[in-house]
Amino acid sequence: MNLERIPNEEKLGLSRRYYLGGFAFLPFLWLVNVLWFFREAFLKPTYTEQPQIKSYVKKSALGLIVWVAVLTTWITIFQHFRAQWGEVGDYLSFTIPLGTA
């Protein structure tokens, strides 16, 4: 979808939907929101809806950073300690690599 060709109210509506949708444990919606609307929010000349779009993009970016931090921490811990956790590690795993601890 080309953002050039849709009216500003629709752009605002899109950004809001992506922002709200991300709260349903969908951080990729926030990622898309940030990447897609970044130019609209910060690089285009000002128009009426822009401050609201800017706030949605900023809040999405914040949420995204929190998610990335949490996921990175958990993945690091799991990869490092899964073998040591023995039974708990096996029950938490979806696939267990063959032949290694």
Partner 1 sequence: KNCVSGGPAPDENSSMSRVMCVSAAAGVLSSSVEQKIYVELNETVPCVRLLNATHQIGCQSSISGDTGVLHVLETESDLDWILSSGPHPPYMVIMETAFFNRSVMMRMKNSSRVAGVAVIVSKTGLADNFSPHTTCPNQNTGVYSASYGSDLANCNVTMWNPLGNGLSYEDFAFPVFALKDENQTQVIRKCYQDHNLRVNGSAPQYPLCAMQLFSHMHAATDTVTCMRRTDLQNRFSINPEVLCDPLSDFNVWTSTRPLNNSAKGHAANESVVIAATRLDGRSFFWEQAPSAEGTVSGIVTLLATIQALSPVTQEAPPPRNIFFSFFQGEAFDYIGSSKMVYDMERNDFVIDLNNVHSMLEIGQVGLRRGRSLWMHSDPRKLSLFSHPSVSQPLPPSSFQRFLRVRGIPGLVLADHNTSFNNRYYESLYDDAENLNVTYPPDLSPDEQLVYETDAAKSLAEVATLVARSLYIQAGGEKKNLNNITADPKIWFLHQHVSDCVRLLWFLGSGPPQFYIGLGPRIHGPVHSVTRFVQYILANLTGTVTNLTESQCQNPSEVNTENKDLFSYFWVSGPASVNNTGEPFCRSASVRLSKAVSPAFELLEYGSPNYSIIPQSRWKSIRARIFPMLTLGVGVAVLLLSLLVTYFISSKAELLFSSARETPATTY
Residues at the contact surface with partner 1, assessed by CB under 8 A: 83, 86-87, 90-91, 96, 98-101
Closer Cβ to partner 1, 73 or 93, answer by number: 93
The span from the CA of 42 to the CA of 99, in Å, is 52
Shortest gap between Cβ of 93 and partner 1 (angstroms)? 8
**Is the distance from CB of 54 to CB of 34 less than 8 angstroms?**
no
Closer Cβ to partner 1, 2 or 100, answer by number: 100
Q: Tokens standing for 88?
A: 């708990």
Shortest gap between Cβ of 82 and partner 1 (angstroms)? 12
The span from the CA of 43 to the CA of 29, in Å, is 21
